[in-house]
Amino acid sequence: MRAVGIWLGICALMVFIMMQVGAVTRLTESGLSMAEWRPLIGWLPPITQAEWERVFALYRQTSQYQLMNEGMALSEFKTIFFWEYFHRLWGRLIGLVYALPFFFFLLRGWIPQEHKKHLWILLVLGGLQGVIGWWMVKSGFVDRVEVSQYRLAVHLGMAVFILGYLFWMAFAFLFPVEEGRKPVARSFRRVGALAHAVIFFTVVSGAFVAGLNAGLVYNEWPLMGGGLVPEDYWSESPLWLNLFENVSAVQFNHRIMAYITTATVAGLWIWSRSQDLAPRARLSVNCLSAMVAIQVALGIATLLHFVPIPLAVAHQAGAGLTFILSLWVLKELRGDAKSRQKADQTPSLEKSTAG
């Protein structure tokens, strides 16, 4: 059982690293350098000069090259090619590290029946994420110099979901909640669940910021152009487009989501002071609160310094850690499954008895 948990933890760590490699790929405008998808024979990079010339010729046909990088030398192309190649290679390695032990553990009977369906789902999601990645890349080949921010948001959202799923399963094997531990009040648990949901949508809103390079405008804080709301927030028509295609509005929305996240987690932490929490549950809330503070500081620093790659990648890593910690909080607040079910039924039973 512990071996299964360690394996899942390794996979989760690899997905976490993958998210940072993806961030570098996006920040260096490298994602469109590989203009073909070869899922079975794409393990090896170009080796011969003829092969380098072939893949470079494919890139020169893209709109990114023609509109942004015309005249790029082969040596420069090799630099951006590396990041996209490494991004795809790492994805394939994740697939192997997940699939091979999975089937081994299945054959040995080491995976409990109640967990098998979840691990099958994760296997399917991993393959689907590869397809989503290519679907995203294809959006940048015609009439634009970067991938669609909508598809980038789907790709990042799926990555975060898979990361959380792997972590949740690994935690169940490695650090199960003690049997008999009572859950906290349902209302407090709901605030923890709200914090988790808000964090997820804040991370996804960051994909729109990255996809539109919205971090390169209004590099000030806390105001935007001297006001709380940028003057050009509603400059696009129809109005709903501003939420997803107006760089000023997209950055403002991400700021607001960050404020909501901070307020929700702060409220959870303050409320936790009056709750009778198990030591590990209290530690999880404290860690989440500290990580949110760090993540806000990273976000502000990234903005004020015009999105340098090291800070931007650290901010992406902080987003992943914040999401993982919010799942840890959920896991701890839920308590033992049997105790939780009994506690949730108690109010209705008491009401029925009183009636």
pLDDT band at 346 (very low <50, low <70, confident <90, very high): low
**pLDDT in the model for residue 343:** 59
Please say if the pLDDT value at position 196 is more than 80. Answer: yes
pLDDT digits (tens, 9 = 90+) for 280-290: 999 999 999 99
Average pLDDT of the segment spanning 58-83: 94
Summarize the confidence of residues 225-251 as an average pLDDT.
95
254 is in an annotated binding site: yes
Angstrom distance (rounded) from CA 324 to CA 160: 9
Structure tokens at 50: 């003829």
Least confident of 57-61, 180-184, 301-305: 180-184
**Residue 89 confidence (pLDDT) above 60:** yes
Q: What rounded mean pLDDT belongs to the chain?
A: 92
Q: What is the CA radius of gyration of the chain?
A: 23
The per-residue b/e assignment along 152-174, b for 16 or more CB within 10 angstroms, e otherwise, is: bbbbbbbbbebbbbbbbbbbbbe
| Interatomic CA distance for residues 2 and 180, integer angstroms | 21
pLDDT band at 181 (very low <50, low <70, confident <90, very high): confident
Taking residues 246-264, what's their average pLDDT? 98
Q: State the pLDDT at residue 266.
A: 98
pLDDT surpasses 90 at 211: yes
Tokens of 232: 């050009």
Tokens 């090799």 correspond to 78
State residue 40's pLDDT score.
67
User: What percent of the chain has pLDDT above 70?
Assistant: 93
Task: Look at residue 352 in the predicted model and tell me its pLDDT.
Answer: 42
Whether the predicted pLDDT of 353 surpasses 70: no
Answer whether residue 354 shows pLDDT above 80: no
Mean pLDDT of 81-99: 96
Residue count of the chain: 355
DSSP sequence for 111-151: S-HHHHHHHHHHHHHHHHHHHHHHHHHHTTSSS-SS--HHH
Instruction: Please identify which residue in the block is written with the tokens 């997820």.
Output: 200
Residue 350 has pLDDT above 50, yes or no: no
pLDDT of residue 355: 45
Q: How far apart are CA 66 and CA 58, in angstroms?
A: 12
Instruction: Specify the pTM.
Output: 0.92
> DSSP per residue over 192-212, as a string?
HHHHHHHHHHHHHHHHHHHHT
Dig out the tokens for 174 from the structure: 């490695």
pLDDT in tens, 164-180: 999 999 999 998 887 76
Q: Residue 231 pLDDT more than 50?
A: yes
Encode pLDDT of 289-339 as tens digits.
Answer: 999 999 999 999 999 999 999 999 999 999 999 999 999 999 999 876 665
